[in-house]
């Protein structure tokens, strides 16, 4: 017995760690197990099965699979003493497996098969019920597979790609009852998919933007073994404490991991979560808004880089006035009884804005005058109409700093073309035309009667919106 626990003992200093030292005599033979959620450097779950007087152990990075459709990796680790069945607590920094360990499940199991490369059991635990097999694939690497149907018979697979529900632009609802109000954050819309303690963040056009925001990774851990699909906005805050789309924009174009980590430290973002679309095998999208929000609130997702700000029921005018006073973008009104309609611009969500903003396609540019002679003076922009033609929507000559002018100049030069991409009304004669695949955000005051932008100001390029989807809808 002492030999089997040799590796366990060798890795630990029992004067420093609160983990149990192996007792001299092994306990009685039985069939107990424990699953510990171990918040070590990488979150994982430790499955330990009582066998021949010790605990045979596997580290399962994504947790025990609830569904036979998906096997999870399980890495065989050293046998642990039986006393470990009860262990939970903090393993000090610097010790082996440093981090918090808590008991996720425990109970007994029936043993069906125990071979050197295959173990088959049925768990009777507080959480787990059902038959599982562990089988070795390569060296220390095993897989764990659920053999029974899912414990929850109504369980649905977690969606992997949901398009966010969109709001239409408008005024505050006249009848205040029946509506909730949220602050509209000036950021990047993102759907967060969490399972096995890992977060994946997809932008509106389903680009994986997870690597861009390393500071949000810990949100996965905060949800532990739960499966969830979250809807929210990635927001960067400026030195004045207000959302800064410019800072966010600078992060969008960072390529290297090292640079992302530097930015994450100097200009961290927050994920502002405002909806819960799926939880633990069940879609919530058919539930009314207030029930989804209640389920979201129960998750308690408020961390260093993620928040679930409360919504307000009724009196949208007061919230809109507060956002105006604080220089924020506006509010979103949401019907309390409204379901979630992915990918749809719904009547049930209305954005009411202090500042108007629209996405436009860059179809050309005009040279500057004075200090900007020979360089970019104004962007020539448009949007697509119903039949997909690009319509001229005016020129944007302010809102650039020097660096952005240089960057845009380079991007536009690479896209030069001889013919106009615009259908119908044409921009000024001296326009240099470009391939219309760059999308920019622009603030403006009003649409003119000819549907061009009055007093537009450049806010930044977007890579989360495809040019062909730009329809002149305000964001
Ligand atoms: Mn562990």
Helix-helix angle 257-266:245-252, to 10 degrees: 160
Q: Is 184 a catalytic residue?
A: yes
Catalytic residue among 11, 62, 140, 184: 184
- CA 23 to chain CA centroid, nearest Å: 45
Residues 81-107, buried b or exposed e (16+ Cβ, 10 A)? bbebbebeeebeeebebebebeebbbb
Q: Where in the chain is the domain with CATH 3.30.470.30?
A: 166-350
Number of Cβ within a 10 Å radius of residue 284: 19
Question: What superfamily does domain 357-469 belong to in CATH?
Answer: Nucleic acid-binding proteins (2.40.50.140)
Question: Three-class SS of residue 235?
Answer: strand
What distance in angstroms lies between residue 125's CA and the mean position of ligand 1's atoms? 20
pTM as predicted: 0.78
CATH assignment, 166-350: 3.30.470.30
What distance in angstroms lies between residue 57's CA and the mean position of ligand 1's atoms? 9
What distance in angstroms lies between residue 38's CA and the mean position of ligand 1's atoms? 5
Q: Where in the chain is the domain with CATH 2.40.50.140?
A: 357-469
Closest by CA to 396, choosing from 450, 473, 456, 467, is: 456
pLDDT tens per residue, the chain (475 residues)?
446 788 888 888 888 888 887 765 444 445 999 999 999 999 999 999 999 999 999 999 999 999 999 999 999 999 999 999 999 999 999 999 999 999 999 999 999 999 999 999 999 999 999 999 999 999 999 999 999 999 999 999 999 999 999 999 888 998 888 999 999 998 999 999 999 999 999 999 899 999 999 999 999 999 999 999 999 999 998 888 888 888 888 887 777 888 888 888 888 999 999 999 999 999 999 999 999 999 999 999 999 899 999 899 989 999 999 998 888 889 999 999 999 999 999 889 999 988 888 999 999 999 988 878 878 999 999 999 999 999 999 999 999 988 899 999 999 999 999 999 999 999 999 999 999 999 999 999 888 888 999 889 999 999 889 999 999 988 7
What distance in angstroms lies between residue 105's CA and the mean position of ligand 1's atoms? 14
What distance in angstroms lies between residue 353's CA and the mean position of ligand 1's atoms? 49
Residue 404 CB burial class (10 angstroms; 0-12, 13-18, ≥19): middle
What distance in angstroms lies between residue 58's CA and the mean position of ligand 1's atoms? 8
* Dist. CA 363–CA 419, nearest whole Å: 10
């Amino acid at each position: 017995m002492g030999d089997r626990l040799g590796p366990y003992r060798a890795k630990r200093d029992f004067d420093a760690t609160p983990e149990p030292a192996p007792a001299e005599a092994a306990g009685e033979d039985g069939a107990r197990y424990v699953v510990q959620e171990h918040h070590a450097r990488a979150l994982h779950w430790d499955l330990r099965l009582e066998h021949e007087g010790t605990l045979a152990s596997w580290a399962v990075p994504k947790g025990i699979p609830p569904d036979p459709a998906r096997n999870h990796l399980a890495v065989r680790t050293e046998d642990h003493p039986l006393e470990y069945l009860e262990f939970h607590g903090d393993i000090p920094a610097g010790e082996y497996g440093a981090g918090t360990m808590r008991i996720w499940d425990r109970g007994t199991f029936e043993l069906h098969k125990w071979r050197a490369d295959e173990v088959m059991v049925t768990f009777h635990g507080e959480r787990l019920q059902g038959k599982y097999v562990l089988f070795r694939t390569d060296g220390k690497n095993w897989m764990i597979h659920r053999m029974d149907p899912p414990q929850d018979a109504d369980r649905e697979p977690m969606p992997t790609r949901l398009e966010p529900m969109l709001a239409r632009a408008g005024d505050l609802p006249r009848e205040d009852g029946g509506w909730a109000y949220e602050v509209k954050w000036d950021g990047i819309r993102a759907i967060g998919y969490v399972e096995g303690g890992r977060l994946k963040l997809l932008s509106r056009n389903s680009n994986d933007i997870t690597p861009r925001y390393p500071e949000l990774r810990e949100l996965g851990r905060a949800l532990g073994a739960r499966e969830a699909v979250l809807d929210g906005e990635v927001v960067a805050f400026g030195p004045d404490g207000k959302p800064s789309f410019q800072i966010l924009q600078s992060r969008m174009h960072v390529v290297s991991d090292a640079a992302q980590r530097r930015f994450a430290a100097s200009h961290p973002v927050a994920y502002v979560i405002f909806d819960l679309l799926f939880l633990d095998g069940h879609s919530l999208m058919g539930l009314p808004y207030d029930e989804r929000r209640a389920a979201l609130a129960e998750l308690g997702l408020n961390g260093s880089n993620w928040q679930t700000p409360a919504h307000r029921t009724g009196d949208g005018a007061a919230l809109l006035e507060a956002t105006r006073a604080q220089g924020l973008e506006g509010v979103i009104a949401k019907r309390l009884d409204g379901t979630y309609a992915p990918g749809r611009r719904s009547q049930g969500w209305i954005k009411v804005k202090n500042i108007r903003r629209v996405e436009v396609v860059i179809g050309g540019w005009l040279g500057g005058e004075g200090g900007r002679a020979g360089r970019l003076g104004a962007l020539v922009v448009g949007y697509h109409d119903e039949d997909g033609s690009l319509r001229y929507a005016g020129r944007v000559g302010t809102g650039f700093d020097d660096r952005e002018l240089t960057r845009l100049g380079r991007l536009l030069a690479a896209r030069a073309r001889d013919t106009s991409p615009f259908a119908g009304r044409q921009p000024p004669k001296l326009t240099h035309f470009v391939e219309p695949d760059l999308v920019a955000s622009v603030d403006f005051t009003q649409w003119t009667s000819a549907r061009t932008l009055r007093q537009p100001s450049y806010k930044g390029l977007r890579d989360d919106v495809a040019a062909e989807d730009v329809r002149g809808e305000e964001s």
